[in-house]
Amino acid sequence: MLEIAPTDRRGRLEFNKLRKKLRRNTGRAIGDFNMIEPGDRVMVCLSGGKDSYTLLDMLLALKAAAPIEFELIAVNLDQKQPGFPAHVLPDYLESLGVPYHIIERDTYSVVKRVVPEDKTMCGLCSRLRRGTLYGFAEANGIDKIALGHHRDDIIETLFLNMFYNGTLKAMPPWLRSDDGKNVVIRPLAYCSESDIERYAAIRGFPIIPCNLCGSQSNLKRQATKEMLREWQARFPGRIENIFRSIANVKPSQLADRDLYPFSGDRQGENAWLLNETADADRTP
C-alpha cells in the first residue's frame, strides 16, 4: 500500500499515533456491529473526498492484519459533472493495486434539470447515487456496501432529523436496505471528522471536490455542522457525549407509544379520553 508520512521524527510519531487511533476506532466499529464476516465481498464506495479515501486506507490495513478472509472492491460513481477529473481515482487505485470499477451515470444532468437553482440538490443526488450503487452491488454479488460516513455525519443527521423532520433518527453503523437486498456499513462511525481531516492532509490524498452540492450556500447540513463545532469549542467533549447518547437509548424516557408500552394493560381504560378529544375537535 502506498504510504505518505512526515519525514521528521516528531511528525512521524504524531502521524503513527493518529493512524493507530483511526485504525483502532474503525476496527472497534466493525467488531461491535459485526460489519464484515468471513468471505464477504465488500464494496468500498469512493467519491474522491477525504472520508472515502480514509475509509479505503483503514480497510486495506485491517484486511492485511485480519484473521479472516474478505474481499475489497473499490467503486466510484462518475456522475458526469463538468470538469470531473476522471483519471484521478483510476490512477490512484492502480498505484495501490486495488481492484476497482468505475460506474458512469449522468445523474448530474438529471439533478440540474429537476431541482430549481435555489433548492438543495443533495436529496435527489443522494437518492440517484444510492439507487445506482445498490443496483451494482446486487448485480455483482456484493455482500456489504461500505460508506465513508463518520461520527460527525451521524450526529449532524440526528439534529437535522430533529430540526426539520420531527424524527429521532440518525445514520446507523449497520443498515439493511428497505428492500432487504443490500447491507450498508459505516466502518468510520467511531472516527471524528477532525482526525480524518488531519489524516487525509498528511497522506496527501488526491481530493476531488464536489461541484454540485459542494457549491451550494446556506445548506442545512453545513449550518448544523457549524453549530456543533461551536458547541464543541465552547464545551469540549459535548460531541462525544451526544454520540454516546445515540448508543444509550432509554425508550421509557422518551414519548414514542409504539416503542414503549407506557400504560401497559391500563391502555384500554383510557380509550374514552381519545374519543372525547376527537369529539371536542369536531365541535364547531
| Highest mean pLDDT out of 94-103, 115-124, 203-212 | 94-103
Sequence-separated (6 or more) residues with CB below 8 Å from residue 131:
none
In this predicted structure, the answer to whether residue 194 has a pLDDT above a threshold of 90 is yes
In this predicted structure, the answer to whether residue 181 has a pLDDT above a threshold of 80 is yes
**What pairs with residue 185 in β-bridges?**
146, 174
Percent residues over pLDDT 90 in the chain: 65
Q: Mean pLDDT over residues 100-127, rounded? A: 74
Q: Are 137 and 182 in contact (CB under 8 A)?
A: yes
* Whole-number pLDDT of residue 60: 97
**Other beta carbons less than 10 A from residue 88's beta carbon:** 15
Task: Annotate 62-110 with DSSP letters as a single string.
Answer: HHHH-SS--EEEEEEEE---TT--TTHHHHHHHHHT--EEEEE--HHHH
185: enclosing H helix or E strand: strand 183-185
Q: Give residue 41's identity as a one-letter amino acid code.
A: R
In this predicted structure, the answer to whether residue 146 has a pLDDT above a threshold of 70 is yes
More confident call, 70 vs 180: 70
* Whole-number pLDDT of residue 82: 81
pLDDT by residue (tens digit) across 129-140? 888 899 999 999
Specify burial of residue 125 (Cβ count, 10 A radius: 0-12, 13-18, 19+): buried
Q: Checking DSSP bridges between strand 144-146 and strand 100-104, what pairing results, if any?
A: unpaired
In this predicted structure, the answer to whether residue 197 has a pLDDT above a threshold of 90 is yes
Averaged confidence pLDDT in the chain: 87
Long-range contacts of 61-69 (CB under 8 A, 24+ apart): 61/1, 61/23, 62/23, 62/26, 62/27, 62/30, 64/1, 66/36, 68/36, 68/37, 68/38, 69/38, 69/39
Domains of the chain: 9-218 (3.40.50.620)
Q: Mean pLDDT over residues 156-172, rounded? A: 94
Cell of 6: 512526515
Residue 72 to residue 59: CA distance in whole angstroms? 8
* Whole-number pLDDT of residue 217: 47
pLDDT by residue (tens digit) across 14-69? 999 999 999 999 999 999 999 999 999 999 999 999 999 999 999 999 999 999 99
Q: Mean pLDDT over residues 164-170, rounded? A: 93
* Whole-number pLDDT of residue 121: 61
Q: Which residue has the cell 445523474?
A: 107
**Helix (H) and strand (E) counts in the chain:** 10, 6
Cell of 61: 490495513
* Whole-number pLDDT of residue 233: 93
Please give the C-alpha separations between residue 46 and each of 7, 59, 114, 155, 235, in angstroms, as whole numbers.
28, 13, 25, 22, 34
Q: Are 70 and 36 in contact (CB under 8 A)?
A: yes
Residue 270 to residue 145: CA distance in whole angstroms? 47
pLDDT by residue (tens digit) across 213-267? 555 445 788 899 999 999 999 999 999 999 999 999 999 999 998 889 887 655 5
Sequence-separated (6 or more) residues with CB below 8 Å from residue 193:
51, 150, 151, 152, 153
* Whole-number pLDDT of residue 199: 97
